């Protein structure tokens, strides 16, 4: 894979164009996958208005709002990378309340938030309706290897050096989980769209190498 440098604005426009023409008559589920240091939630949020301008109603849901209760999430301590990798997120709840309803056979009634991690209780959010033709943008870490039902996956790729530099000191303990993810899952090898995000001011879009096309 080779990478083509783009401006942040061009990245949003090209992604919005691609998403807008995918399954235009039905709902579309898009995973924006990346370590917190890559800020996948910012990219997902930035796509909402451009998609609406292209005639695709859009809803952004963060996996950070689908954490498991602290008693389960932190059972092996607050800084256990294996627990972070395997057990922090309520993926069953995300499927049940968000991805399945937004799917081809779903009703479109989506719960945008399930758990308030600060209060460690249910968020008590209201359901919202995603109409036919709508786009669901799910942002978060470790998404590509979770077997989630999505139609399009965008992976934000960070080199190990950039990941280490951009991860705050109090989150450095998560780095082994992302090393394991890169080794075991290698999402950059199968994601529909790969964005090199080492420098958020200078992203680059992945494109197939010339000898692998057609």
Mean pLDDT of the chain: 93
* Cα–Cα distance for residue pair 52/69, rounded to 1 Å: 34
pLDDT at 26: 87
The four Cα atoms 138, 141, 145, 149 give a dihedral, to 10 degrees, of: -10
> How many domains does the chain contain in total?
1
Is pTM beyond 0.75? Reply is yes
User: Does 195 fall in a domain?
Assistant: yes
Residue 78's pLDDT band (boundaries 50, 70, 90)? confident
Residue 59 lies in a domain: yes
The pLDDT value recorded for residue 155 is 98
Q: Give the pLDDT score at 184.
A: 96
Band (12; pLDDT cuts 50, 70, 90): very high
| Beta-strand pair 193-196/204-207 | antiparallel
Please report whether residue 35 resides in a domain: yes
pLDDT tens-digit series, residues 111-147: 999 988 788 788 889 999 999 999 999 999 999 988 9
Nearest-5° angle of CA 179, CA 180, CA 184? 125
User: 94, 90, 91, 19: which is closest to 58 by C-alpha?
Assistant: 19
Please tell me the chain's helix, strand, coil percentages from 3-state DSSP, rounded to the nearest 5. Answer: 40, 20, 40
Which domain range does residue 54 map to?
Answer: 2-209
Strands 128-129 and 109-110, bridge-based pairing: antiparallel
Of residues 122 and 110, the one with the higher pLDDT is: 110
Q: What is the DSSP letter of 68?
A: P
| pLDDT tens by residue, 159-201 | 999 999 999 999 999 999 999 999 999 999 999 999 999 999 9
Q: Is pLDDT above 90 for 97?
A: yes
73 domain residue, yes or no: yes
Residue-level pLDDT at 28: 97
27 phi and psi, to 5 degrees? -70, 150
Report the CATH number at residue 64. 3.40.50.300
The whole-angstrom separation of Cα 108 and Cα 102 is: 5
Is 214 a domain residue?
no
> pLDDT at position 209, please?
56
DSSP state of 103: S
């Amino acid at each position: 894979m080779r990478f083509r440098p783009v401006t942040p604005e061009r990245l949003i426009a090209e992604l919005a164009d691609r998403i807008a023409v995918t399954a235009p008559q039905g709902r579309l589920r898009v995973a924006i996958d990346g370590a917190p240091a890559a800020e996948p939630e910012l990219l997902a949020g930035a796509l909402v208005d451009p998609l609406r301008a292209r005639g695709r109603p859009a809803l952004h849901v963060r996996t950070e709002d689908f954490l498991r209760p602290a008693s389960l999430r932190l059972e092996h301590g607050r800084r256990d990378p294996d627990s972070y990798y395997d057990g922090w997120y309520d993926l069953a709840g995300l499927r049940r309340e968000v991805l399945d309803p937004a799917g081809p056979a779903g009703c479109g009634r989506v719960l945008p938030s399930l758990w308030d991690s600060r209060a460690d209780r249910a968020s008590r959010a209201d359901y919202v309706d995603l109409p036919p033709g709508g786009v669901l943008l799910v942002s978060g870490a470790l998404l590509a290897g979770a077997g989630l039902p999505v139609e399009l996956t965008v992976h934000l790729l960070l080199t190990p050096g950039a990941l280490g530099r951009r991860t705050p000191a109090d989150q450095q303990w998560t780095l082994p989980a992302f090393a394991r993810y890169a080794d075991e899952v290698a999402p950059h090898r199968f994601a529909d769209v790969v964005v090199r995000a080492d420098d958020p001011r200078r992203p680059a879009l992945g494109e197939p190498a010339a000898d692998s096309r057609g």
